[in-house]
Structures are given as C-alpha cells and as structure tokens.
Chains A and B, each alone.
Chain A
C-alpha cells in the first residue's frame, strides 16, 4: 500500500521568510495530493491540492510542486505570518480503484516567529 513520509517534523522560521515542507510517496499510481492545515485544537482544513497531471499550483502565498518521477511533492509558503503557525499534513490518494483513501504524512509543526 501507499506510504507517505513528511519532513521536517518541526520547522521554525522568522516572519516574512519562506517555509518549505516536503513529502515523498511510494505508490507511483497515486494521483491526488492534498495539503491540510490544522491549528491548535481545530479541525484539519484543506489549503491546497494538486493532481498528477500538473507540476505546480499556486494560491496567493501558498504553492505546491509535484515531481512524479521522483515521487515527491512540496508545500511552499512565502512571506510567512504568525497565523501560518500550525501543523501541516500532506496526503496521497491511492490508485483510483481504491477511491478516496488518503494516506497522510506524520505532520510538520510550523512556528512563525515575529
């Protein structure tokens, strides 16, 4: 089955700097890669996703890149702000045959210092 590795486990950046979180996956048939943000005591919320037919997607200060050959994808946050502090989870969806079974990474605690 699918296995997702996420790095780093914790990341501290200065306000205004960029943050990058990387994930690798094992199943080359995976075709959908969402990123979730979970603030302390709150529910995970989808912030951006990418499908396997594109290499990059941007939404304001957030971008995701996908390298299908290397089987890794990354979340990029530019001009970080204190409200970006949260736990970020990547996920990969297994082959369509399995429907919407997401396999999650272990999470990255992002701290933005002001």
Chain B
C-alpha cells in the first residue's frame, strides 16, 4: 500500500492495557503528526515530529507517548487510558514542516 498506512485499523482495549498504534509513510516525507478525531469536535493535533525530533506537544496527557524511530515510522504508545480517549486516531505526514499534510486511514480506538 502506498501513501500513509496505519495499524491496527480497529482496537478495543481495557483501561489497564498497554497497546501501540503504528503509522508508516511511503512518501519520503520528513514530518509526521498524530491527531485525535472525536465525534462533533475539530481534529486535535497531538504531536508533531520533524526530522525525527518532536517539535510540538499539545498538552497531551502522559498516558499517550509518541515515538519516532525514523522518518518513515511513527508510534503512539497507550497505557492506562480512559473511556473518553475513545476516538479515531489519525496519522499524517508532510514533505517538510511546512508542507501539505497527507492523512492515514486512522485507527478506531475504543477504551472499555
């Protein structure tokens, strides 16, 4: 698959579980993003990485922990989540920190 891919596409987890979301981009981009999309709310930027360094952290709770091991991969590690964290988590990438963003298909997360 080309473009931006995300796995898993659906995830159900309990509040005490630890899981990770994975994003991979095949576009040769240098910047990657995590967004949270909740019903009836604007897309919320969570984290931004540019050249594998975190450049934005929008006051996200510490139960969300990002990791960017290289410019093609981005992870979001989850632990002790709350039911209100249930949402669609979207990854995006751009050529550089100022470029057009391309989105992945998202991971639908349900916290029980």
Contact = CB atoms under 8 A, between A and B. Distances in A.
Contacts of B66: none
Counting chain B residues whose Cβ lies within 8 A of the other chain, the interface size class is 20 to 34
A61 interface: no
Given A43-B105, A101-B56, A96 B100 contact: no
B103 interface: yes
Contact of A44 (B43, B50, B98): B43
Contacts of B100: 34, 46, 49
Contacts of A106: 40-42
A106 B42 CA distance: 4
B50 to A, nearest CB: 7
A92 to B, nearest CB: 11
B105 A100 contact: no
B55 A99 contact: yes
A107 B94 contact: no
A104 B43 contact: yes
B48 A100 contact: yes
B43 A101 contact: no
Interface in B1-46: 4, 31, 40-45
Given A36-B103, A99-B98, 8 more contacts: A46-B102, A99-B48, A100-B31, A101-B45, A102-B101, A103-B42, A103-B45, A104-B42
